[in-house]
Structures are given as C-alpha cells and as structure tokens.
Amino acid sequence: MTAYTDGTVPFLVDGEELKTYYRIYGSISDDNLPPLIAVHGGPGLVGYYLSPLSKLVDRNGRQPVIIYDQAGNGRSSHFPDKGPEFITIKLFVDELENLIAKLGIKEYHILGHSFGGCLGAEFEAERHPPGLKSLILSNSLADMKLFAQSEAERLATFDNADELGAAFAKGMEDPKAFRAALDTFNGRWASRYFTERPLPEDIDPFLWWFGDEEKGIEGDYTVSGKMVEDKTWTILGRIHQIRVPVFLITATNDFVQSYTAEPFFWGLKKTKWINLEHSSHLPFWEEPENYMNLVGKWLEHGASELS
C-alpha cells in the first residue's frame, strides 16, 4: 500500500466546529504536481473505497492524491440529530472549499465519483475556485431525475425487482433486507467485474452505513437517510458555468448509465469522454490498470490539451 499521512481539519458551520478527516498519499509540497482531490459518493459513504487512486502516486512519484470523509460520515464528525435543513449540497461544497484552504493547496484537480461528481461540478459552477485545473467526473450524473430513471431501468432487469424495490423503500426499517437488496443490485450494476465476495472492508462502500461491531464501526445512515437535495439536484441549466476542462468517465454496465452524464459532453467545449466496456460503477477496482492509465495521462497531459 502507498504510504500516507492523515489528520483532520476544523470545519466551522453556524458556529459549530466539525472535523473533516483526510488522507494524503504522496506529498503536497511545492516540488510535486498539483494534487488530485478525490470526492466520494453516496451521499453518505466514505473516502476509503477510492484508495486505489493512490496508485497514481507511483506513476511518477510526484502525483499526490487526497481522499477524505465528508461530514457526517466515516472518521469525520457525525451529526445524527441534524435534519435535511442542515444536510445540504452547500454543506458539502463548503466543506470541500474549507479542506482545500486548510491544507494550503493552491492548484489541484478534482475527481468526483458518483455523487461526488455532482459536488465537484457544483463547486466549480458556483464557486469558480481559482486553483482548480480540471474536473474528472467518474460514473457521475448531471441530473437526479435522469439518475432515478437509470436506476429504475437497472432494477427492472431483476426477476425479483418488486422485492428489491420494497427493501430499498423500507431502508433502515429492515436493515437486513436492505443490505441484502443492495448486495444483489450492486453485484450486477456496481461491482460486476470485481468478483471477490464478500467484498473486502476497503471496497465495501456500505460498511459505515450498517456498521460492524467486531471492527468497532458504529453504523450511521444519517446523511443518506435524511438528505433530500440528492433527489432533486440538477446542473442542467448551469453546465455552461463550468470553465475548466472536464474528463467524463462512464461504464457500460453501470447503474448510473452514460446518458445521465451526457449533458456535460454536449454542454461544454473542453470535454473528453471515455466509456469503459469492462466496468460497472467501480472501475478503479474493476479494471484498475486501465483506469489509472487514463486518469494519469489526463493529469499529465489531457487537461492542458483542452484548456
């Protein structure tokens, strides 16, 4: 495993101090390349499943990678008593902006995976951060209505779609059935080409939702369970506000089908789009060598060619 340093930075929200946990692979010194900040999905997951991106450090020894747990999740501050009025897109965009400032990063790239891509796109469209050099939107989307359509289409491919749908609707009211439904659905449309079962701890994206008493992990579904903006968010009327080069990565067998990200391609002048044939939703685990090669080349050359 690539060596890393980790820690927390304070994040002040309405006078309340939260902590954001981060992990840095490589070094963010001035002698190195601008870091890649990886923004995890969910909402409500944690950053560790993006750890394969640390392999980018080994390409040239100068490409640092940063992952972090968004507020409410993992090793960052939790807030089980907060409601939808607190758990917003703005909260997580503010947190990303705060993390960058607290780490003293001047220039950087962002890779947003799944819902993390929504946050990355929102960050650029609304804040125009001066140090952002490019956006990589991996297995992500431009509109939640398109996403809901895509997910429903994938669910309909199962013979027991009604049973799975009922388990999803009940959620944590029946955690055992919910977990089983997630494993079934994701086995086909999220981790199809990663065949190890059960999923290892460092790839299991739902470990921190359900918890594991033996590992000392207390489950917390607060963010995903209470957030409402993740059902309505869209950037369709604001794509033109994105100024930096964008690299779209989609996958043929993803539950987030490629048409959900396609508006970025048609709405921006500086865009590259690659579709992966042998991946579903976790290409950095499913075909890591190809994925790291594509992302590494983008960081080294691709973004500058489109800028």
**Dist CA 134 CA 153 (whole Å):** 31
**Dist CA 263 CA 95 (whole Å):** 26
46's CB contacts (< 8 A; 6+ apart) are 40, 69, 70, 73, 74, 75, 205, 207, 208
The pLDDT of residue 196 is above 90? no
Contact predicate 82/1, CB 8 Å = no
Looking at every residue in the chain, the average pLDDT score rounds to: 94
Q: 4-151+220-306 has which fold?
A: Rossmann fold (3.40.50)
**Least confidently predicted of 51-60, 88-97, 112-121, 189-198:** 189-198
pTM of the model: 0.96
User: Angle at CA 168, nearest 5°, toward 47 and 117?
Assistant: 35
Q: Mean pLDDT throughout 286-300? A: 96
Integer CA distances (angstroms), 301 to 37, 124, 142, in order: 17, 21, 25
Quick one: pLDDT at residue 201? 77
Q: How many CA atoms lie within 13 A of 29 on its CB side?
A: 6
Coil, helix or strand at residue 200:
coil
The H helix count followed by the E strand count for the chain is: 12, 8
The pLDDT of residue 307 is above 70? no
Cα-based torsion angle of the residue sequence 150, 156, 162, 164 in order, rounded to the nearest 10 degrees: -60
* pLDDT tens string 176-186: 999 999 999 99
Integer CA distances (angstroms), 76 to 19, 55, 80, in order: 5, 24, 13
Quick one: pLDDT at residue 306? 67
**Dist CA 133 CA 269 (whole Å):** 15
Domain residues of the chain, as ranges? 4-151+220-306
Beta bridge partners of 25: 4, 65
Quick one: pLDDT at residue 298? 96
166's CB contacts (< 8 A; 6+ apart) are none
Q: Mean pLDDT throughout 141-155? A: 98
**Least confidently predicted of 99-103, 126-130, 255-259, 300-304:** 300-304
